[in-house]
Every structure is written in structure tokens, then in C-alpha cells.
Structure 1
Amino acid sequence: MTPKTKSPIWHPFTQHALQDKMTKILRGDGAYLYTADGVRIIDAISSWWVVTHGHCHPRIVSAIQDQAARLNQIIFAGYTHDPAEEVATQLLQLTPAGLDHVFFSDSGSTSVEVALKMALGYWHNIGKHRTRIVVMQHSYHGDTIGAMSVGARGVFNAAYGPLLFNVSTIPFPATGHEQVTLDALESTCRNERPAAFIVEPLILGAGGMLMYPAWVLREMKRICETSGVLFIADEVMTGWGRTGTLFACEQANVTPDIACYSKGLTGGALPLAVTLCRADIFDAHYSKDRTRTFFHSSSYTANPIACAAAKANLDLWRDQSTLRRVGLIATLQEQALEPFRTDARFANVRRTGTITALDLKTTDSGYLASIGPKLGAIFKDRSLLLRPLGNTIYVMPPYCVTAADLAEIYGAISDAADVG
């Protein structure tokens, strides 16, 4: 029987039988969160990877306040508004050259749904029957049906199997086995003639912060291009400086055919997502035949307030000092991580850009590793927001984090290792 709780809220990715008391946060400021009890918490994972410049950044807050007093919502079918137009224009200036159209949605998961529908709609509308999607082992693209279908099958979606469609899977390009991955992708593209390949560039997030080099990403794009397979880059997590460049695809010098961006799009202030595509994908839907319309929407598509937050965020990214700050955080992260590379308690110590990860050596591993909740409790007692992926501990801070903050974070990680 479910016990009575003080709140009727059902929290995400939370087993209430094991964690029924939630920490109430009253406010955020920069890299810090403050609880109802007055405790200051260092946000070491950017509140689920969304906060970039810091909580309640004044320029973003001001933009939200101003827009809320002007226009707070308007249907986006047949109507438009300045914040959306400005965001779309700036996105096409900042993202890899060759992306031509911007479709707004509400979350990373829905941006992936949009990308999949764009790809299938493209092939359908040009009269070719290509429906298979190729994915990478250990991938995660969200929790809606299409996004779950192109993610790894396992604990996240085992109960929902009857709803999911079949995909083709290539292995993760583990160090020393990259060619196995590339050969598998080339064979799949040649033999199955799929519609699209979707991948998280450089880092697989929820799959365990698994990292691979830019040259592999470049080769995967080349194989898709040679085979006529649409290349979908899910940069929901990897975008906005996380990998050291504004977007991960920049490091491979590739332009995806379709790209998904969210999380840091508004600096972490409001939910918003976009899916960008090449002109020919849009053109395949452009027709006086209404049956070729791209049938996707949500009530809050391109919400003006969310777009105003995104516009303020994009303005910050146009300032070169922002990327310099990203470079500094990457350097500080590497310095903080260095002692762990020779620490026998850890394995696979790794970093890409501003993201670090390391695996605590335990008797069990993976997302449901028994050590995970113990680690989480230790970090919470140390006033740190760290949420391990099982025995994998990762640090993905907002870019306003300080060297002192990082020292506190990694000191707690070192101490927590002894519980294993």
C-alpha cells in the first residue's frame, strides 16, 4: 500500500518507496541553490544539464520579465512574433552552416520526435519507402515513444516495449574498437537502406557519460552521406558549450541533416527546444497539396516568453567571453580530475570539454548499481547536487562555477569512494 505523503506530486525518475522526502529549493543564484532551511547547495550537474550561465542570470530574467508584460502566448500556426523570429535567425547564424529551417517544440524528447517525423516525412513525400532508423548502443534520446524507441532498451523502457518500434543498432565506439562501429554502420546503411541514423555527438549522456573522439563522428557522417542516409545529431545535452565548443558537431567539422537542441537553449530558465534541418527536408513538405503538411505541434510551440529567454541566452553566446569562460571551466575540470586518473578506486576517468566522468569500482555497475543511492545520499549531506548514474559519477557544472566549488565537489567524490 502506498503510504500517505505530505505532497501528492509524483516526481520524475524517483522511486518514492526509497525516497519520499524531497528537498525544497527556495531560490537559485549562479552556481548555487538555497533550501528552505537556508542550506547552500553547489549545483554540480546544472540541474539536469540545463543551466549554463548560472541560475537566475540577470539578463535572462530581465528578458523574461519584459516579454511577460508584452505577449505571453499566441498560437504558432498562422501567427509569429519577434522573439521567435529573432531566435531562429540567430540560431542559423550560430549552428553549423547548411541548416536552413527551425522548428520549435518544448523539450529535448519532443525535438527528437520532430526529427524522426521530419526524416520519415521526407522519404514519404519524395516517394521512397525508407523507414528504418539506425541507433547507437547505450543511447538515450528521451522518454516519449519515438525517443524511447531510438534509445537503448533496458530499465528505462522495459515496461513500454509493446509501444516501441524496432530499430537497427550499431555498437558504441569503445576505445580501440572504433572501426567495428564504423564497419557496422556502413554495412547497415548499405544492406538496409535506412531512413536515418540518430546519434549523440561525442558523449552519450544517460547511457553513462560514454565518450568517443570527433574523428569517429566525422566518419559516421561521411558514411551516412555516402549512403544517402539522413544524419540526425541529438545535441540536446551536448550543445551550448558542454563539449568545449558551442556545439559538439563543430569538433568534427560536420553539419547534420537534422539537429536537435534544447536544455541550455534558454540558459536553463524555461522549457524550449528546436529541431533544425536542411532546406531539402523542408522542401519535401512544401506543397499546395495539404496532405504533405508537416503534422506536428504543441499548444505552446515557440512560446514568446520562452523565446525571449532564448534570445537573451543567444546574445550571451555571441559574446566571445562566454566561450572563453567555457574554455576556463574545461581547464579547471581537467585539473580537478587529474588526481583521479591514478586513483585505484576509479576506472575510466574521462573528460570532454566541461564534462567529466569516472566510474567507481564496485561489485555491480550500471544505472541500477546498488552504490548509486548511497553516493547520492553522501553528496546530499555534503550540500552538493550530484546525481550519479549508478556507479558512474559525473560533473557538469554551470559555467559560473569557481575553482573552490570544484575543489569541494571533487573532495566529496574522493571521500565518497570509500563507501564502496
Structure 2
Amino acid sequence: MSLKQRDQKHLWHPLRQHHLHPESFAIVKAKGCILTDEDGDEYIDAISSWYTSVYGHCNDYIIEKTYAQMQQLDQIMFSDFTHEPAIRLSEELIKILPEGQNKIFFNDNGSTAVEAAIKMALQYHFNTDDKRNVFIAFENGFHGDTFGAMSVSGLSVYNGPFAEFLIDVKRIPTPDGENHDIVLNTLRNLSLEYDIAGFIYEPLVQGAAGMKIHDVDGLNAILAFCKEHKILTIADEVMTGFGKTGRHFASDHIETKPDIICLSKALTAGLIPMAITSCTQVIYDAFLSTDMAKGFFHCHTYSANPIACATAIAGIELLVSSEMQNNIKRISKAHEDFGRQIKDHPKVKSVRHIGVIFALDLNTETERYGDLRDQLLKFFMDRGVFLRPLGNTIYIQVPYVISDEQLKKVYQVIEEALEIV
């Protein structure tokens, strides 16, 4: 019996309607940019397996460092103990995080990183006797699947059945370079009407919305307004972090820095689950008290798992290396050239790119998980490239170790796909 057949007996996959799509691709091996299935067929992983394996799958350097840690210390509860990998990771991370970040709180995944950030913001105001209970978020943003993270997300396909259970969130448009006054007036009016605790945003790129890129100056103006009105700013860098936008973090492109940052995905290079919520010293200090109840009572069993910490340290070492930085620049230049080449194609509505992120919108409308998306996914896989369209958006987010030849093939199959849509 094949893996595909065995899979259907007990497994329930995420983001899937099993009645319509019973089969999954069965992958048995991954190395560099290549995924190999149970039949021996190979696929270029052109989205870094949901933006995680940015240094390539089964990276030898990361595996070596992870294996060494596995022989030293595997798991220890982090409420009463500490350990060198967590301490060193905090030191190395603070060096590259945007200015102002000074404290590191560990979580399990992107959703829980956001969940902790929301709770930090709410309790910060509670602890400082300035109770606030409303959040601001962008339209069509996505921040995760737990209840707080769902609340601040704006994609109804994920949230619909749970809408009545969510926290109070008011939405503003993303800045596009032309709606500056509209966005700021909306924000100003909301701040007069509600007690706003925080503003959560995906800096520069809305991933699940279709890699929509918004205006730097407009976002900076929003953040400056929030700072002025004591609205805590939460940068969800789960997708954008660790080099994706051409800098270590998308927040590095923006003058006004966030109070809180959420990290996961590429944090541990796709090898081991882990997430982090970082914050400024000012936020941390608001939780210091002789009153136990003012502490931050939020904990995950695998917080600061030593093996995951060692993996993250190795990932940072690769990220800051000249090799990876040069690769990021090389991929960004290739995306720019491809965008220029394809932007006038009659089937292409628009193109955009930043760093290693490239996206194009097709000149057709379709449901997010509709027939066209399924048709394109199969088309790409049949030609040996894993791309996962979002509605009418085809996007690329390749591992930094991809070769020029592999990248050329990714572009080629996209061009071929334009002939069938």
C-alpha cells in the first residue's frame, strides 16, 4: 500500500476539504531545494515549505549543530531552569533584531507567538492602570489560528465559524502610497472612539493575502501615530523575518520600530518548531512587581527547548554569512528581471517583489481555494516545481541556496502556466 493510500486512513490535513481533495503528495526525502516523493519524482521547493527552510532542507551545518546539542541537553522546563542555548540565542538574536528589542519570550509556533503578543499588550495596559481592550489590524491580514491570532486576522475563510467568539478588533486599510490621509483619518477616529491597546501588522508584506506589499512611508506614519497615542505596535514577522525582504527583518525598512515582534518559521530553518515574542524593556518592566498577579502567566511546555535554540543559533549564523546575504541579493535581482520580463503579458494583471518574495496576479478572478488554484498546483507539480497559488496570485519564496538553473526552471513553469489560464 502506498503512503498516499495509508495517509487517508487516519490523517486529517490542515487547510483541506478532504471530500474534494482526498490525496496528498507523499514526500520521503528533502535536500537543498529538492523534495523527493515516494515514486522517486523530484520537485523544486519554490516556497521554502511555507517560508521555513530558507537555508535549504536538511542543511548540513544546521544538522551538525542540532545533533551536537541533542547529545548534551534535550529538554528542560524553562520556568525554573535556564540553559546556555537559550541564553546564547537571546544574545545573538538581540544583535540583529530592530533597535529597541531587549527581552525574549519563547513560544511554540507563529500563532502562539502572536497570542503571547496580544496578551502582553492587554496586560501591559492593565498593569499600568490604563485598561484597554480593542486592537487595530489591517484588512485581509493573517496572524494565525489560535483565538487571539484569529481575532486580529481578517480573512473570513479562516475565521467565519468563530466570529462571535473573538476579541474586539477594528480594521484599517493597508497604505498603498495614495490613501495616506484616509488611513490616518480612519485610525484617528478609531482612537477617539475606542480604548485601543495595540496595532498588529505584517510589516510591508501580507503573506496569506497574496503577498500584498504596502507602502513604507504610509506604514511608518501609522506606527508614529500609534507611538504618540500609547498604542503598542506588534510586528508579525513570522513570515517576513530572517532575510525574506532583503534585510534581516521587514521592520528594518521602516523608521519607527515596533514595541513587540513575533517570530517563527525561518527562526529554526524548518527543522524544529519554535517561536519567539520579543519586546522592549519598557514593556517587560510593566510586569515587574511584588504582586505575583502582575507577572506574565503564559507558558508552553517546550518553551526554549535547547535543541530548537541550538538550531536557531545555527540559522542566525548562516543568515548573517556573506554567502547567504549574497544569495539573497542574487535572487532579488533575478526576481526583478523576471518581473520586468513578464509584467506586460496579457494574462498578468500585476507583479511585485521585495527581497526573495515575488508575486504576480493573474488577469482573472477566482476563489482562494477554487478550481483554478487546484489546476495550477497540479500543473506545477507535474512539471517538478512546488508552487502553491493563493486564488489568482502565484508567488515565489525560494530557499536562499537555490541555484540559478533551478530558479530559471521556476520562472519557466510559471510562464508555461500562463498559457493554460
Could you say which residue in structure 1 is the equivalent of 2:121?
A: 119
Q: Give the alignment partner of residue 49 of structure 2, picking from 42, 47, 68.
A: 47
- What is the alpha-carbon distance in structure 1 between the residues aligned to residue 212 and residue 367 of structure 2? 12
Could you say which residue in structure 1 is the equivalent of 2:395?
A: 394
- What is the alpha-carbon distance in structure 2 between the residues aligned to residue 144 and residue 412 of structure 1? 36
Could you say which residue in structure 1 is the equivalent of 2:327?
A: 325
**Secondary structure of the residue that 2:149 maps to in structure 1?**
helix
- What is the alpha-carbon distance in structure 2 between the residues aligned to residue 153 and residue 400 of structure 1? 32
How far 1:160 sits from its partner (Å)?
1.6
Q: For 1:10-89, what aligned pairs fall within 5 Å after superposition?
A: 10-89=12-91
Per the alignment, do residues 153 and 41 of structure 1 end up closer, same or farther by CA in structure 2, a change over 3 Å counting? Answer: closer
Does the CA-based 8 Å contact 1:102-1:275 persist in structure 2? Answer: yes
Q: Structure 1 segments of 4 or more deviating over 3 A?
A: 3-7
- What is the alpha-carbon distance in structure 2 between the residues aligned to residue 257 and residue 418 of structure 1? 46
Could you say which residue in structure 2 is the equivalent of 1:365?
A: 366
Over residues 253-279 of structure 1, what are the superposed CA-to-partner deviations in whole Å (9 max), with x where a residue is unaligned? 332100111111011211111011111
**Secondary structure of the residue that 1:324 maps to in structure 2?**
helix
Could you say which residue in structure 1 is the equivalent of 2:336?
A: 334
Give the number of aligned pairs: 417
- What is the alpha-carbon distance in structure 2 between the residues aligned to residue 69 and residue 295 of structure 1? 31
Letter in 2 for 1:330: S
**Secondary structure of the residue that 1:351 maps to in structure 2?**
strand
Over residues 48-68 of structure 1, what are the superposed CA-to-partner deviations in whole Å (9 max), with x where a residue is unaligned? 111111111111101111111
TM-score (norm 2): 0.96
What RMSD in Å do the two structures reach over aligned CA positions?
1.6
Per the alignment, do residues 6 and 152 of structure 1 end up closer, same or farther by CA in structure 2, a change over 3 Å counting? Answer: closer
Letter in 1 for 2:95: Q
**5+ long unaligned stretches in structure 1:** none
How far 1:327 sits from its partner (Å)?
1.2
1:382 and 2:383 aligned: yes
Q: Give the alignment partner of residue 311 of structure 2, picking from 290, 309, 329.
A: 309
Letter in 2 for 1:416: A
How far 1:175 sits from its partner (Å)?
4.8
Per the alignment, do residues 126 and 395 of structure 1 end up closer, same or farther by CA in structure 2, a change over 3 Å counting? Answer: same
Q: For 1:107-186, what aligned pairs fall within 5 Å after superposition?
A: 107-186=109-188
Letter in 2 for 1:375: L
1:415 and 2:395 aligned: no
1:204 and 2:212 aligned: no
Does the CA-based 8 Å contact 2:176-2:218 persist in structure 1? Answer: no
How far 1:417 sits from its partner (Å)?
2.1
- What is the alpha-carbon distance in structure 1 between the residues aligned to residue 88 and residue 242 of structure 2? 18
Per the alignment, do residues 418 and 178 of structure 1 end up closer, same or farther by CA in structure 2, a change over 3 Å counting? Answer: farther
1:221 and 2:228 aligned: no
**Secondary structure of the residue that 2:163 maps to in structure 1?**
helix
TM-score (norm 1): 0.96
Does the CA-based 8 Å contact 1:360-1:391 persist in structure 2? Answer: yes
Identity %: 37
- What is the alpha-carbon distance in structure 2 between the residues aligned to residue 138 and residue 60 of structure 1? 35
